[in-house]
Amino acid sequence: MGHVRDRMDADLKLAGRSESTRKAYISCAKRFVKEFMRSPEELGESEVRRFLLGLRERKLAVGTYLKYLGALKFLFGQTLGRPEVTDRIPWPRMHRRRPDILTREEVARVLAAPKTAYWRVFLMTAYAGGLRRMEVAALQVRDIDSGAGLLRIRHGKGDKAREVMLDPALLLALRGHWREQGLRGPWLFPAKTRFGGWADHPVNLDRATAAFRSAADAAKITRRCTLHSLRGAFATHLFEDGIDIFTIQQLLGHERLETTGRYAIVRTDRIRETPSPLSKLPK
């Protein structure tokens, strides 16, 4: 893509998109261009439709398809100044799969399963604050406000900042983590150097994903789950404890209440334990 890629990246920065979104959109645009082996300036609506139909036929996950569509709408609408190319391509009505929420007992098993203390504390932090993996990786010492009992997320999704609760047990775990790992720099979860020391940048997110998968397998979790499932469990467990959905929305950093509502569900085990009013009818 060359100069178009640079322009698109600059436009995404001006639009306030996060680094992860910029990388994802540019990757999608490059995949589109590679499909036709021509500059995007020479491509139009017919190529976009053909490409997107191919994605639909492959039955990609909802989020993946929407990412491609969003990237192409941005590429043509903003960077190339040709919004007519994608204006008539609708956002699909696609039903998101109902999240499969981990029980508290399953979460406890996962948090106890990592082979190293480093990943045990990483996963504990993700669940305790309902954090995305990138938000855990980006945490620095200055983000811990022990006096106020808060954990500050400076660069969440969309580069939005927020605060979450700092559980006393998590604070103790983070302090022990800092001492035991011999950390010196600002990062709470830095990457390892090839010489065994600590790098001046956060741990790779793919390694975090692999660590969760290994822990879930060791904990014998058979249902479909990812590291993001700890965030979903955080939200649902708070909802079950009577925390109002607006507070949960703020803790998760969601702009739309509908997004939070996906987690405001009662697990089937709780449903099963709830007595039916039939048993209370007069005899």
Q: What pLDDT, on the 0 to 100 scale, is given for residue 280? A: 73
SS3 164: strand
Among the listed residues 263, 267, 270, 272, the single catalytic one is 263
Say whether 132 is catalytic: yes
Average pLDDT over residues 97-115: 89
Q: What pLDDT, on the 0 to 100 scale, is given for residue 188? A: 97
Say whether 177 is catalytic: no
Range of weakest confidence among 14-18, 114-118, 137-141, 221-225: 14-18
Q: Where in the chain is the domain with CATH 1.10.150.130?
A: 3-87
**Confidence bin at 262 (pLDDT 50/70/90):** confident
**Burial grade of 78 (CB within 10 A; 0-12, 13-18, 19 or more):** middle
Residues 69 and 93: their CA atoms lie apart, in Å, by 13
Among the listed residues 17, 73, 120, 132, the single catalytic one is 132
Say whether 263 is catalytic: yes
**Confidence bin at 97 (pLDDT 50/70/90):** low
Residues 233 and 221: their CA atoms lie apart, in Å, by 14
Q: What pLDDT, on the 0 to 100 scale, is given for residue 134? A: 93
Residue 144 has which token pair? 């811990």
Among the listed residues 213, 228, 262, 267, the single catalytic one is 228
Q: What is the pLDDT of residues 224-238, one digit of tens each?
A: 899 999 999 999 899
Residues 174 and 154: their CA atoms lie apart, in Å, by 18
Among the listed residues 120, 177, 231, 237, the single catalytic one is 231
Contacts 24+ apart (CB under 8 A), 220-223: 220/109, 221/102, 221/106, 221/109, 221/110, 223/100, 223/102
Among the listed residues 254, 262, 267, 272, the single catalytic one is 254
* pLDDT at 247 exceeding the cut of 60: yes
Structure-model confidence comparison of residues 163 and 261, the more confident one: 163
Q: Are 200 and 188 spatial neighbours (Cβ–Cβ below 8 Å)?
A: no
Residue 216 has which token pair? 């879930």
SS3 82: coil
Q: What pLDDT, on the 0 to 100 scale, is given for residue 155? A: 83
Q: What pLDDT, on the 0 to 100 scale, is given for residue 82? A: 96
**What does the mean pLDDT of the chain come to?**
90
Average pLDDT over residues 209-213: 96
Q: What pLDDT, on the 0 to 100 scale, is given for residue 257? A: 79
CATH pick for 104-270 out of 3.40.50.880, 2.40.50.1070, 1.10.443.10, 3.90.1150.10: 1.10.443.10
Q: Helix 104-112 crosses helix 117-129 at what angle (to 10 degrees)?
A: 150
Q: Are 113 and 219 spatial neighbours (Cβ–Cβ below 8 Å)?
A: yes
Q: What is the pLDDT of residues 149-195, one digit of tens each?
A: 999 999 887 778 899 999 999 999 999 999 999 998 899 999 999 88
**Strand runs labelled E in the chain:** 144-145, 150-153, 162-165, 190-192, 198-202
**Confidence bin at 223 (pLDDT 50/70/90):** confident
Cα torsion through 21, 27, 30, 35, rounded to 10? -120
Average pLDDT over residues 212-228: 94
Among the listed residues 67, 157, 160, 207, the single catalytic one is 157
Q: Where in the chain is the domain with CATH 1.10.443.10?
A: 104-270
* pLDDT at 91 exceeding the cut of 90: no
Q: What pLDDT, on the 0 to 100 scale, is given for residue 19? A: 79
Residues 214 and 50: their CA atoms lie apart, in Å, by 39
Q: What size, in residues, is the chain? A: 283
Best-predicted range by mean pLDDT among 95-99, 153-157, 212-216, 274-278? 212-216
| Full-model pTM | 0.71
Say whether 3 is catalytic: no
Say which CATH class 3-87 falls into: mainly alpha
Residues 95 and 194: their CA atoms lie apart, in Å, by 44
